Amino acid sequence: MVAAPARKTGQEVSHWSTGYRLDSSMADIGPLDVAPTALTPPEPHVVVLFGATGDLSRRKLLPGLFHLDRAGHLSDCRIVGTSPEEMTNAGFRRLARESCESFGRGRVEEDDWNRFERRLSWVSGTTGAAGLSDAVDRAEADIGEQCRRLHYLSVPPAAAPAVIKTLGEAGLVERSRIIMEKPFGTDLDSARELNAMVHEVFDEDQVFRIDHFLGKEAALNILALRFANGLFEPIWSRNFIDHVQIDVPETLTVEGRGGFYDATGAFRDMVVTHLFQVLAFVAMEPPVELAPDAITVEKNKVFRSMKGIRPEDVVRGRYEGYHQESGVAEDSDAETFIALKCGIDNWRWSGVPFYLRTGKAMSEGARIISIAFREPPKSMFPEGSGVGMKGPDHLTFDLDESSRISLSYYGKRPGPGMLVDKLSMQFSLNEIETQGDTLEAYERLIRDAMGGDHTLFTTAEGIEELWNTARPLLENPPGVLTYERGSWGPREIHDLIEPNRWRLPFQRRWRG
């Protein structure tokens, strides 16, 4: 990647454009011969992990911080864990080690662990603002008082305002950034209220609203593929694209998360957050540079151009037996499945349907973006040649860890005559030597937040636009249909997508 020219504005620059330094003496050598140098680690940090004993912290955040440390992506750092529980430093270190062993990548080596565990300390939430401030002071005394602070709010939505207030009272706003977990409100009014509350204590540029889908290597590859090549962008519009599918079925149920899920539902849990964010990467105009402000402007333009979601374009579903899950209200109306059709009312996308689907307890787990191209006239082919028989050409992104991409097309079947078959060109991250450098989504995003890089985070304005788009659906939601566990959702999803068809389940498997 070539270093971008110095910017005149002095604004924050994403490390996408500046992180890799090219040795200028090598500048004439083809890019394949130039190894990008390592990213500079962020400044020393005290990370305050709210909700440190919770599920997200144990599965992703503690193992992620451990991996960042082990891989040399953190400079000096202290991690203060906190939650309402009473615990000792030793107890927190034990919990962190168990988390890294159970959910981290690879073995926990003693040397790595010994260095990491010295960074960990605990303060109980019951000690209030004063206790928290003392704990952060102690951590800062170890690494230098001018270090930065990163507050990670891994807490239920209802607890976030109290944590923000405590941070204000504890005098922990200066030199700080704050990562907030979704949902960012439940509708437009509550999102505005939450944003206003956050802004009473923190400036917007201190706030990092995390959406872990955008930290996935494969999601970033959408931007690389679209904007780093001359091949795709010219055909990336209504003139060549027939429709788009963003399909994220999950096999897991809400077991163990009934309480959270019942108050949230599939639309708020997955669509307003992850699926719409991915849609913005697919649909946005080329930003003037790969820098936070420029990307945010383009993403927000997509959100603003989205048509309100019409209830008649939505299928809500609930898997059989949902009401028996613990934490779920007897009369719950929450959906565990949603499929919808939406559109973007601008010059590039007018008339192109975007179909989104996600749900729990479904037949397969997948995260697919599928771009269906318009079909050519087929009249020149003799009848029975097979042309068009297996649907349109598709460009498919698999957002899974292997970050696969496939381009399917019709090609000639070997032998006499002119019979055609659906073929594909495929790519998988596993084929690249540097795939071991991949950061897990949370790791990447924590590191970006430490560097002050907002590129992959959502702004208050973006969130409010999305809730506005959702308004017609939220005001008048269609009834919830029951679907069998292990299915692809209620039958009505086929009417929704007519005259097109859902790509999943795939008729042909990925290779390899």
DSSP for 36-82 reads PPPPPPPPPEEEEEETTTSHHIIIIIHHHHHHHHHTT---SEEEEEE
- Of 262-281, which residues contact ligand BG6 (CB under 6 A)? 269
Q: How far is the CB of 405 from ligand BG6 (least distance, A)?
A: 18
Binding mask 354-393 for ligand BG6 (x = CB under 6 A): -------------x--------------------------
Q: How far is the CB of 137 from ligand BG6 (least distance, A)?
A: 34
For 67, 75, 93, 248, 440, the CA distances from 105, given in Å and listed in that order, are 8, 20, 18, 24, 10
The smaller minimum CB distance to ligand BG6, of residues 172 and 282, is found at 282
b/e map of 424-440 (b: 16 or more CB within 10 Å)? eeebbbeeeeeeeebbb
217 touching ligand BG6, by CB under 6 A: no
What's the first-to-final CA gap in the chain, in angstroms?
Answer: 29
Q: How far is the CB of 279 from ligand BG6 (least distance, A)?
A: 16
Q: How far is the CB of 211 from ligand BG6 (least distance, A)?
A: 8
Q: Which of 427, 420, 433, 408 is nearest to 507 (CA)?
A: 408
Residue with tokens 């460009």: 395
The smaller minimum CB distance to ligand BG6, of residues 60 and 93, is found at 60
Q: How far is the CB of 422 from ligand BG6 (least distance, A)?
A: 28
Q: How far is the CB of 131 from ligand BG6 (least distance, A)?
A: 30
The smaller minimum CB distance to ligand BG6, of residues 135 and 218, is found at 218
> Phi and psi at residue 282, in whole multiples of 5°?
-70, -35
The smaller minimum CB distance to ligand BG6, of residues 29 and 252, is found at 252
- Of 158-197, which residues contact ligand BG6 (CB under 6 A)? none
* Residue from 117, 250, 443, 448 binding ligand BG6 (CB under 6 A): 250
Tell me how far apart the alpha carbons of residues 316 and 489 are, in angstroms, rounded to a whole number: 9
Q: Are 314 and 339 in contact (CB under 8 A)?
A: yes
| Two structure tokens written together for 422 | 């659906």
The smaller minimum CB distance to ligand BG6, of residues 214 and 282, is found at 214
CA atoms within 13 A of residue 187's CA, in its CB half-sphere? 8
Question: Is-catalytic flag, 151?
Answer: no
The smaller minimum CB distance to ligand BG6, of residues 163 and 445, is found at 445
Three-class secondary structure of residue 477 per DSSP: coil
> How crowded is residue 331: how many other Cβ atoms within 10 Å of its Cβ?
6
Name the catalytic one among 67, 212, 243, 274: 274
Binding site for ligand BG6 (CB under 6 A): 212, 250, 269, 367
Residues marked active site are found at 274
